[in-house]
Amino acid sequence: MSDLTADAVATERPGAGNPAAPGGGRTVAAAVPAALVARLASGVTAAGDPDLVETVAPLTGERLAGLPQSTPADVEVAFQLARRAQSAWAALPVRRRAAVLLRFHDLLLRRQDEVLDLIQAETGKARLHAFEEVLAVAMAARHYGRAAHTYLKDKRRGGALPVLTHTVEARRPKGVIGHISPWNYPLELSVGDALPAFAAGNAVVNKPDTQTALTALWARELLVEAGLPADLWQVVIGDGPVIGPAVVEHADYVSFTGSTRTGRDVAQRAAARLVGASLELGGKNAMLVLSDADLDAAAAGAVRACFSSAGQLCISIERLLVHRSVADEFLERFAARTRALRLGGGLAYGADMGSLVSVRQLETTTRHVEEAVKAGAVVVAGGRARPDLGPFFFEPTILDGVTPEMAVCAEETFGPVVSVYRFDTDEEAVAAANSTPYGLNSSVWTGDRRRGRAVAARLRTGTVNVNEAYAAAYGSVGSPMGGMGDSGLGRRHGAEGILRFTEAQTIATQRLMPIAPSFGLDDKQFAAVMTGGLRALKALRLR
């Protein structure tokens, strides 16, 4: 990375929204009434008289829900129920299963306001960012609803002996998927990732984060309304280190989204049982602004890239690499846009950024900024918590002059904080972007799309967006999305996103002659005939 000049830019406060009306006219309690919580909570697999755990609405700090806690024994029951439902589901034609996804798509779009309230109440994010989840889930539902049949149908393959061996590659469901999801995108990462698993004929036992379980339970209800057999999707809730391993213990395949640290633990447990796992983990994503970029578009893109869901987005940008020749001008425009952001907690569209989800996220964000400033970094915009708006609000923050010994330089903050670095050549920018063990997402801004794609090809990340922040690649649901290196294993979306939930089965039917000495040939003669046959197959360019 080239020099890390700390151009002093006056700190200004981003806009305050309207702290007096955290509910945008409606309170969280009115949007998520006790009767709704009780109805949704009845969808949790938890026997007897379970312990309740309380969740808090991040926007205001008020009590949100008391949710039943599943025990490891409940997890076992959940797998039994799911397993029983799975065999009948798997026996249905793919198109019948996929039709449920298409009906779910329509129901979701029609009833989106219900879930937007829940997502906002549970995460504290702005409504626009909650809507991005609806968008992502609807796209996945449409894609797998329409394309599952093509992905899953039997495929004719070349046989051992042309004409004489008829070979088919078939796809069988894994069985019951253990699906563990985090709090940051509770709709997308609970139901969005489960949809292809269902389309492929599996059942799912889902452990959402307790903080955002209501959203997952709402999605479950809606999918059942769309035609999913109720037992096919079990929801268990509980302490991650207790219930998470229990889910892995019974699963035929594990789909995990969360931190790299937990992902390693999940991977080891799955490996010990010889079951597969896909792991969607953390990132320290970079955005590159090349010398020929449209600076206004890049500045607007950087705001989306860095501050969507208050930076609690695995693919959000925490490192901004800008060509030195345009750095000052870019930074001025980016900072102006950042300072103009309206923070707020209304359960309505209008705010540009909401709250962080918890005191833990607030503490990490605050620590990263305060330590960096103490060590010489300069706050270009934001930089402070905003308890006047809500208990976990933190301003969208731009840091300049960040150096490698500061935690914010290499560690995932998972908050609304981005550091700006300058570079002189594309080579230098690529090397800086790749100088992290993570490899999830990146973004390249340039006036020359071919140059953008050439730079993209050299970046070690699972997705690269050219002239967009993250939504272009994430929304391309026909193409795989996931991480390289410490950002994970496996992919969601596209063929990989559904085939991971299947076992490949090759069925080869032999006719007329065996693949062994026959018709009076001795071993030596058989070997000679086969040797001639192999030469002929290569000469005929057969694969």
Rounded Cα–Cα distance for residues 104 and 222 (Å): 7
Q: At what angle do helices 94-110 and 213-225 cross, to 10 degrees?
A: 120
Distance CA 320, CA 329 (A): 14
**Measured from the CB of residue 392, what is the shortest distance to ligand NAD in angstroms?**
14
The residue among 180 and 406 lying less far from ligand NAD, judged by its C-beta, is 180
Report the b/e string of 4-26 with b at 16+ CB within 10 A.
Answer: bebeebebbebbebbeeebbbee
The H or E element that residue 275 is part of is: none
Report the nearest approach of ligand NAD to the CB of residue 414 (Å): 5
Enumerate the β-bridge partners of residue 207: 180
The Cα–Cα gap between 223 and 101 comes to 8
Shortest spacing between CB 310 and ligand NAD, in angstroms: 13
Q: How far is the CB of 282 from ligand NAD (least distance, A)?
A: 3
Q: Which residue has the tokens 């960040």?
A: 402
Q: Which of 133, 314, 318, 409 is catalytic?
A: 314
Tell which residue, 349, 334, 342, has the closest CA to residue 393: 342
- Amino acid letter, residue 14: P
Minimum CB distance to ligand NAD smaller for 209 or for 352: 209
Beta carbon nearer to ligand NAD, 58 or 346:
58
Smallest distance, ligand NAD to C-beta of residue 359, A: 13
- Contact by Cβ (8 Å): 312, 524: no
Annotate 491-540 with DSSP letters as a single string: -BSHHHHHHTTEEEEEEEEE-SS-SSS-TT--HHHHHHHHHHHHHHHHHT
Q: Which is nearer to ligand NAD, 120 or 446 (CB)?
A: 120
**Residue 142 CB, nearest distance to ligand NAD (Å)?**
20
Could you tell me the smallest distance in angstroms from the CB atom of residue 145 to ligand NAD?
22
DSSP character string of 445-493: E-S-HHHHHHHHHTS-SSEEEESSSSHHHHT-TTS-B--SGGGEES-BS
In three state form, how does the secondary structure of 372-421 look? HHHCCCEEEECCCECCCCCCCCECCEEEECCCCCCHHHHCCCCCCEEEEE
Q: In terms of CB distance, is 123 or 446 closer to ligand NAD?
A: 123
Considering the complex, state which of residue 259 and residue 435 has its C-beta at the smaller distance from ligand NAD.
Answer: 259
Please say if 395 is a catalytic residue: no
- Residue with the CB atom nearest ligand NAD in the bound state: 244
- Smaller CB separation from ligand NAD, 262 or 365: 262
Catalytic choice (280, 318, 395, 412): 280
314 is a catalytic site residue:
yes
User: Could you give the dihedral angle defined by the CA atoms of residues 359, 269, 151 and 173, in that order, rounded to the nearest 10 degrees?
Assistant: -120
Q: Which residues bind ligand NAD (CB under 6 A)?
A: 180-185, 189, 207, 209, 240-241, 244-245, 257-259, 262, 265-266, 280-283, 314, 412, 414, 440, 483, 488
Q: How far is the CB of 470 from ligand NAD (least distance, A)?
A: 11
Q: Which of 421, 359, 369, 358 is nearest to 395 (CA)?
A: 369
C-alpha to C-alpha distance for 245 and 280, rounded to whole angstroms = 17
Closer Cβ to ligand NAD, 60 or 184, answer by number: 184
Query: What's the full length of the chain, in residues?
Result: 543
469, 302 in Cβ contact below 8 A? yes
**What is the distance between the alpha carbons of residues 490 and 146, in angstroms, rounded to a whole number?**
22
Three-class SS state of 296: helix
d(CA 313, CA 311): 5
Rank residues 229 and 240 by Cβ distance to ligand NAD and give the closer one: 240
Q: Distance between CA atoms of 222 and 281, rounded to whole angstroms?
A: 27
Q: How far is the CB of 483 from ligand NAD (least distance, A)?
A: 5
Closest Cα to residue 475, out of 132, 112, 100?
Answer: 132
State how far the Cα of 531 lies from the Cα of 185, in Å rounded to an integer: 58
Shortest Å distance, C-beta 186 to ligand NAD: 10
Backbone angles phi and psi of 161, in degrees to 5? -120, 120
Residue placing its CB nearer to ligand NAD in the complex, 75 or 432: 75
Contact 39, 14 (CB under 8 A): no
- How far is Cα 123 from Cα 59, in angstroms, rounded to an integer? 8
Active site residues: 280, 314
